[in-house]
Amino acid sequence: MRFRRKHKQESEVFTDTLVDILFIVLMFFLIVSTIANPNLVKVNNPSGTKDVKAKQNIMVSVDKNQNFYIGTKRIDPAMFDSLLSAEIRRYKQFVDTPSVVINADTAAYYGEVFRIMRIARKDTAKVVAIVK
């Protein structure tokens, strides 16, 4: 009895173009994720010389009309201190030391910016200011 050997045919999948497309898609999402920040209120920032990146847990903005924002939500100035402290406490459940990022216009009163810094430091949060 003679058995025939079956010849296996090997199939090839060319993945060269797939790798190129995945690389382009990866680069696109990396660039878009660094540019887009949905919690940012547009203000005219002062200029600075250092370039330090901080993880943006809590975004606080002060525009030229002295309006306060936490994220994109406008906050009454009388309620701002307690709401910022509550926001810091809320983030402390997830992060050991949350960051408060201050985005203040150049025409904003810097006494208000220092008040925000004092509140954040009192609640043991890091303070970062955005500059150009």
Contacts of 130 (CB under 8 A, 6+ apart): 45, 101, 102, 103, 104
The reported pLDDT for the residue numbered 9 is 74
The reported pLDDT for the residue numbered 74 is 92
Tokens matching residue 73: 């939500």
pTM of full prediction above 0.85:
no
Name the amino acid, one letter, at 34. T
d(CA 36, CA 30) in angstroms, rounded, equals 10
Q: What's the pLDDT tens digit per position in 59-108?
A: 899 988 889 999 889 999 889 999 999 999 998 888 888 888 888 888 88
58-129: which CATH topology? Nucleotidyltransferase; domain 5 (3.30.420)
Give residue limits of the domains in the chain: 58-129
d(CA 25, CA 14) in angstroms, rounded, equals 19
